[in-house]
Structure 1
Amino acid sequence: MRKLVLIIEDDEMIRSSIFELLELEDFNVVSAGDGMAGLSLAHEVKPDVILCDMYIPEINGCGVLEELRKIWNPEQMPFILFTSDYDSKIRNRAFQLGANDLLLKPLDIDDILNAVYKATGINKKSAPL
């Protein structure tokens, strides 16, 4: 069964690039352009993993994570946060709230794939090409 990934990112180019990358890796993918739409979509589709930018409109990435952790724990709905501002306060806050991983922008394809495969429990070597 294909895993479902939710991407929450306001930059259309980044969102589309990640979307296409994950589709090529045989994931089902949905996306939202702001935090509130992302929260709504997460409740609706219950994705296997969420990739979320820290700085998005409506509610930031940590706010999205905090709301989701009221319902789902890190094993039930893994959450990968990414940011261009990798200071220790953001890192500590993200992990305190239950983030599974934190990636630094500009995003690296291998980092994205490794984080998603790890979060979904898929062995990358056995994944479809």
Structure 2
Amino acid sequence: MRTILLIEDNNDIRENTCELLELEGYNVIFALNGKTGLTLASQHLPDLILCDIMMPEANGYEVFAGLQAAPATRAIPFIFLTASAEKKEVAAGLEMGASGYIRKPFEPEELFEAIRQSLK
């Protein structure tokens, strides 16, 4: 069973996304902020990370940079989640080396397809 770390500070989005992922057969670990997400990523070495951008303690870009700086977490596929529709944010995230970028709200199939592509 593949493990996904979800880093999301919004309770409703986090709970709904966890439920969707678990129903799809993934083991889910979650963090309420970026700082905790970095710690959990190092401890559990998940198969994939889904991460919000606007969060307390460390934003999504800071989380991604922290993961890239550590050899143990550098290769973990990483997908940004955000409510922003700014194309420059999408480009910035992808230029940093993220596997994908999903705009909230998203359809379950959009999420699952991004995960499948990132785990190939």
| Fold shared per TM-score above 0.5 | yes
Displacement of 1:98 in angstroms is 1.1
Structural mapping, 1:2-13, within 5 Å: 2-13=1-12
Does residue 53 of the first structure (1) align with residue 40 of the second (2)?
no
Q: Provide the C-alpha distance between the structure 2 equivalents of 1:112 and 1:57, rounded to a whole number of angstroms.
A: 23
Letter in 2 for 1:11: N
Alignment root-mean-square deviation, CA: 1.1
Deviations 1:32-55 (Å, cap 9, x if unpaired)?
000000001001000100001111
Letter in 2 for 1:32: A
Does residue 37 of the first structure (1) align with residue 29 of the second (2)?
no
What residue number does 1:124 align with? none
Letter in 1 for 2:90: R
Structure 1 residue runs of 4 or more that deviate by more than 6 Å after TM superposition: none
What residue number does 2:25 align with? 26
Aligned residues: 118
Structure 1: tracts of 5 or more residues without a match:
122-129
Q: TM-score, normalised by structure 1?
A: 0.86
What residue number does 1:85 align with? 84
8 Å contact kept, 1:3–1:120:
no
Displacement of 1:90 in angstroms is 1.0
8 Å contact kept, 1:52–1:81:
yes
What residue number does 1:70 align with? 69
Percentage identity across paired residues of the two chains: 36
Q: Provide the C-alpha distance between the structure 1 equivalents of 2:23 and 2:109, rounded to a whole number of angstroms.
A: 13
Displacement of 1:94 in angstroms is 0.6
